[in-house]
Amino acid sequence: MSPLRLAGRTVVITGAAQGQGAAEVTAAAQEGARVVATDVLDEAGEKLAASLRADDLDVRFRHLDVTSPEDWSALASSLETVHGLVNNAGIPMRARLGEVDLTDWNRAFTVNTTGALLGIQALAPLMPVGASIVNVGSVAGLTAHHAVAYTTSKWALRGLSKVAALELGPRGIRTNVIHPGYIETPLMATANPVFVEAHLSMTPLGRAGHTDEVAPLVVYLLSDESAYVNGAEITVDGGYAAHGGVKAITNALDTGSA
């Protein structure tokens, strides 16, 4: 039997109570990590952690609002060493350019971008050589997507990730970004059916992705197998971003909402 890839490592994962985050928690724990699963969804988070502990996996839940410097400081104070941080927490803001209000615009950035910044600032001082940060972006951060606040916040996350790769790299800490496409998660449950149909029609593999098709990539980036991967951006989207056909989604949404 091959050794567990994350044995002896402490990994913090945000937005971990459900969906993609929960799959990442499970995958990291199955590879031997001591996982601190964080979220604002306390009931779901506690239930997930308890179910994984029942399988003899080392997972504990902690309430964390990624927009709160105080929550991050308290988390950092409870830990001695952090080998991995997965900034998975994110929220959708689906308003178009002419409709988005400033409150929603700012909220998208506060959670999707500033939350990752605060996590890096709080936990990087606890990271040894070989530690890894994985930021969860989106194919929306690679194209001109229709949801302006969400899209722009994910583009900004790419910039943050590049700076972190540059500045933390000399300490032996790697920072990479993954860009999921349409993945079946609770976040997508409220998506406009017109959007879903149009998006999947432009995905070369012709189907939605699943959380267990994203989590193994996160494990890889947390592990020593990716020891020379730093500042990379990797899509998990069935080929969607490869051909840049987002205009068809915009046209379909305009027709579907007429």
Active-site residue (options: 150, 182, 220, 240): 150
Query: What are the CA-CA distances from residue 141 to residues 47, 49, 113, 155 (Å)?
Result: 32, 31, 12, 4
What tokens were used for 127?
């990271």
- Determine the residue type at 252: A
Determine the 3-state secondary structure of 176 from DSSP: strand
158, 137 in Cβ contact below 8 A? Answer: yes
Cα-based angle 205, 207, 208 (whole degrees, multiple of 5): 120
The Cα 186–Cα 180 span in angstroms is 14
Give yes or no: 182 in active site.
no
Catalytic residues: 150
